[in-house]
Amino acid sequence: MEQVLNIIFQNSNNKESLQHLFEFLKKNENIINEQKNNLDLYLEQLHNGHHTLGCIFLLAAKAQSKSIKNVGLIIKQLQQFFLNCDPYQARFCPSKYYFLCRRLAEICIENSVPQAAIFPLYQSIKKLQKTSELTPAHPYLMLVSLCSKNFSVATKVLEEEVFEIESKTTGLNIEEVLLYFYYGGLIWTILKKYDRATHFFELNISFPADILSKIVLESYKKYIFTSILSTGKVPVLPSQTSHVVEKNLRQLCGPYFKFKQFFENSNSLELNELVVKFNDIFEKDNNLGLAKLCIQNLLRRGIQRLTKTYITLSLEFVADKFGLGSVINAEFYILDMIEKGEVFAKIDQKKGEISFHDDPETYQSSQIGIQMDKEIQEVIDLSNQIKHLDEKIMVYPNYIMKKMKEDHHSQKKSEEIETEKMN
């Protein structure tokens, strides 16, 4: 092991010798693994920044043990490593680097300190990530964020568009891709950003597949509810969904398809009965809360539709129509909607009536005027940009040549037609 350390010291400071060091460490993994009980002593002699490649192999040997005695120490070692490691050296061994990311997440979750992994995992992503690239560390950052209910760092990452999935250099597998979008969807759902959650779940559903995975199945169940909460409409499967996935979803999601059907029929009473009937299934899937929110969404949209037809209604009528059980419940719903600006109305408690009014801000708010002016200006600017682009295109030699040929052909054709007429 002393020889291993000497080789690490001798070859870590020279970029040209790092490949030789990587190959040496790979050949001598057995020697490192045999020293599991003494690895902490050797790690103390190494610097995370100067000897990154050596640290990766030693930490990986230690982290792969199922029974780690000093949990606090290895968490600290991994935290310090990701904060101080050299990205250039780490890229020689991405598989072990991302193995350490996974183990940090697992160890922290197993020991009820998931928050301890959040910032180090964020650093691990930023150090090796190319712009807009998904890495194997992404899903583990989302997982520890979910477990700790701390989303400030996770949302920063989720807001970054992902355009590249490079499995050859990072070792990223399909399961990790699906988990990233599933965990991301869960985080957006918890934060009530239902449109973003829907987008993440939809990416999983439309992912090319020959079989239906558990992750895609759970994504679809959530997708139904977040889509309804986002748009108020029943979602259809994305057009890119594979035939196999679509067929299996229909077979395995019976209660969810019935929920879609009843919601589409705008029947809140039947929807309530359905949720009661399949209560255990929705609860087991952790979707009961979302199902109830969708029922509330249907009720609120139903009440909003009444404002387009009626000026005055009895609270008793509202309670009966939407199955609210009592006048008091109907009053509660409407008052809550008034406070949130979802309807404009007044309740006469003596008469037990509700009077609907037009939005007092309609076409009167100065903010609306400012917004309209802004949007009009954006359209004008866009029009000018297109015009400018047309002018630029028209001076390109290729365009001019093409245009001249088209004009010549058009002129020749006109002359032929004129000749035929004369004859």
Structure tokens, 77: 């070692």
Q: Which of 120-129, 285-294, 414-423 has the lowest mean pLDDT?
A: 414-423
- Region 84-100 average pLDDT: 95
SS3 12: coil
The string of pLDDT tens digits covering residues 269-319 is: 888 899 999 999 999 999 999 999 999 888 888 888 888 878 888 888 888
In a 10 Å sphere around its CB, with 0-12 CB exposed, 13-18 middle and 19+ buried, how is residue 327 labelled?
A: middle
State the average pLDDT over residues 18-37.
90
With cut-offs at 50, 70 and 90, classify the pLDDT of residue 406: low
- Whole-number pLDDT of residue 379: 65
- For 56-68, what is the mean pLDDT? 91
pLDDT band at 408 (very low <50, low <70, confident <90, very high): low
With residues binned 3-state (H G I as helix, E B as strand, rest as coil), the percentages for the chain, rounded to 5, are 70, 5, 25
Which among 228, 206, 204, 229 has a CA at the least distance from the CA of 216? 204
Question: H or E element: which one contains 134?
Answer: strand 133-134
Orientation of helix 52-63 relative to helix 71-84, angle to 10°: 150
Give the torsion sign (CA, 310, 314, 315, 321). Answer: negative
Q: Cα separation of 51 and 43, whole Å?
A: 10
Edge-to-edge strands, sheet with 312-314: 312-314, 353-356, 345-348
CA-CA distance, 304 to 373, in Å (whole number)? 29
CA dihedral 258, 260, 263, 269 (to 10 degrees): 20
Cα angle, residue 53 at apex, residues 11 and 119 outer, rounded to 5°: 145
Q: What distance in Å separates the CA atoms of residue 232 and residue 342, rounded to the nearest whole number?
A: 14
The residues that bridge with 354 in the sheet, in sequence order, are 313, 347
Place of tokens 């490691």: 85
Using left for φ > 0, alpha for ψ between -120 and 50, and beta otherwise, residue 389 falls in alpha
- Burial per residue of 374-406, b for 16 or more beta-carbon CB atoms within 10 angstroms, e otherwise: eeeeeeeeeeeeeeeeeeeeeeeeeeeeeeeee
- Helical packing angle, 254-264 and 243-252, nearest 10°: 90
**Topology of 307-356 in CATH?**
Arc Repressor Mutant, subunit A (1.10.10)
Which of 124-128, 341-345, 351-355, 393-397 tops mean pLDDT?
124-128
> Among all chains, which residue has been given the structure tokens 């395995």?
252
Global confidence as pTM:
0.79
The predicted model gives 242-258 an average pLDDT of 91
Task: Give the right CATH number for 1-129 from 1.25.40, 1.10.530, 1.10.3470, 1.10.1760.
Answer: 1.25.40
Provide the pLDDT confidence category of residue 414 given band limits of 50, 70 and 90. low
- CB of 268 within 8 A of CB of 298? yes
What kind and span of H or E run contains 348? strand 345-348
Residue 229, token pair as written in the block: 């909460």
User: Helices 288-306 and 327-339 sit at what angle, rounded to 10 degrees?
Assistant: 80
Spatial CB neighbours of 170, under 8 Å, sequence gap ≥ 6: 94, 98, 128, 133, 135, 136
Q: Which of 160, 164, 194, 190 is CA-nearest to residue 177?
A: 164
- Helices then strands, counting H and E runs in the chain, come out as 24, 5
For residue 412, pLDDT over 60 is answered with: no
